[in-house]
Amino acid sequence: GENVEQHPSTLSVQEGDSAVIKCTYSDSASNYFPWYKQELGKGPQLIIDIRSNVGEKKDQRIAVTLNKTAKHFSLHITETQPEDSAVYFCAATMNQAGTALIFGKGTTLSVSS
């Protein structure tokens, strides 16, 4: 089955710096890669996703890149702000009936002002 590795487990940056979180997946059939942000005391919330027919996707300060050959995808946050502090999860799935969304173990991002 699918296995998703996420690095780093913790990341501390200064406000205004960029942050990058990387994930690798094992199943080459996976074709959907979402990223979720979990703030303290809340459930995870989708912030961006990418499908395997696209190499990069941007949404304001957030971007995701996908390298299908190497089976890795990354989350890039530019001009970080204190409100970006949260736990971030990557996930992967084959997007077929009966196949689960497999999550990475999470990255705790701390942005200090």
Partner 1 sequence: EAQVTQNPRYLITVTGKKLTVTCSQNMNHEYMSWYRQDPGLGLRQIYYSMNVEVTDKGDVPEGYKVSRKEKRNFPLILESPSPNQTSLYFCASSFREGEKLFFGSGTQLSVL
Q: How far is the CB of 111 from partner 1 (least distance, A)?
A: 21
Residue 103 contacts partner 1 per CB under 8 A: yes
Residue 99 contacts partner 1 per CB under 8 A: yes
The residue among 24 and 104 lying less far from partner 1, judged by its C-beta, is 104
Rounded CA separation 16/43 (Å) = 26
Look up tokens 């705790």; give the residue: 108
For residues 2 and 92, the answer to whether their CB atoms sit within 8 Å is yes
Contact map string, positions 29 to 68, toward partner 1, x by CB under 8 A: ---x-x-x----xxxxxx--x-------------------
Q: Which residues contact 27 (CB under 8 A, 6 or more apart)?
A: 1, 2, 3, 92, 94
Rounded CA separation 4/15 (Å) = 29
Residue 97 contacts partner 1 per CB under 8 A: yes
Residue 89 contacts partner 1 per CB under 8 A: yes
Q: How far is the CB of 70 from partner 1 (least distance, A)?
A: 22
Q: Where does this chain touch partner 1 (CB under 8 A) — which range of 21-29, 57-65, 67-75, 104-112? A: 104-112
For residues 5 and 92, the answer to whether their CB atoms sit within 8 Å is no
